[in-house]
Amino acid sequence: MAATATTNVIPGSHADLLDSTALAHVATIGPDGAPQNNPVWFGIEDGNILFSQTKARQKYKNVQRQPRVALSIVDPANPYRYLEIRGVVERIDEDPNKAFINLMAKKYLDQDVYPWHQPDEERVVIVVRPEHTTTMG
């Protein structure tokens, strides 16, 4: 999962943020129309942004109902430099073997296995196709 796989929607000046261990703050629209925003670990593959969710979480329910999302990634070395990505959920992939969340645990924690697995959780991978970006710094 490298930034070199990005589409031309992501400017080269900020593509390095996609390979960083910065968190992506993902905003979705809740059932009452209010925004819901929280940080997630993320990866990139084939120009799409990927993040993991459990089926019990509100964010999973939100993107099923309304697939438009916005993500912001702040440079850990410079809080005045950021990348905002607006896009649409292209698909939601099942992750029964926890392969993606384990990959993210390796990226963010340098651990082979996600340490906070719950036995009954059902994980999915949300795949977001970037459509528009804004940057600063």
Amino acid found at 107: K
133 phi/psi in degrees, rounded to 5: -135, 155
Report the pLDDT averaged over residues 31-41: 96
CA dihedral sign of residues 119, 55, 128, 83? negative
State pLDDT tens for residues 63-108.
999 999 999 999 999 999 999 999 999 999 999 999 999 999 999 9
Return d(Cα 124, Cα 137) in angstroms, integer.
33
Predicted confidence at residue 5, as pLDDT, reads 41
User: How buried is 45 (Cβ within 10 angstroms: 0-12 exposed, 13-18 middle, 19+ buried)?
Assistant: middle
The yes-or-no verdict on residue 1 having pLDDT over 70 is no
Report the pLDDT averaged over residues 100-120: 94
Return d(Cα 113, Cα 115) in angstroms, integer.
6
Count: domains in the chain: 1
* Residue 18 domain boundaries: 3-136
CB-CB contact of 137 with 80 (8 Å) = yes
Q: In the 8-state DSSP scheme, what is residue 102? A: H
Report the pLDDT averaged over residues 25-51: 96
The CATH number assigned to the domain holding 50 equals 2.30.110.10
Provide the H-helix boundaries in 26-128.
Answer: 58-65, 99-109
Predicted confidence at residue 15, as pLDDT, reads 93
The yes-or-no verdict on residue 118 having pLDDT over 50 is yes
CA dihedral 126, 130, 132, 137 (to 10 degrees): 90
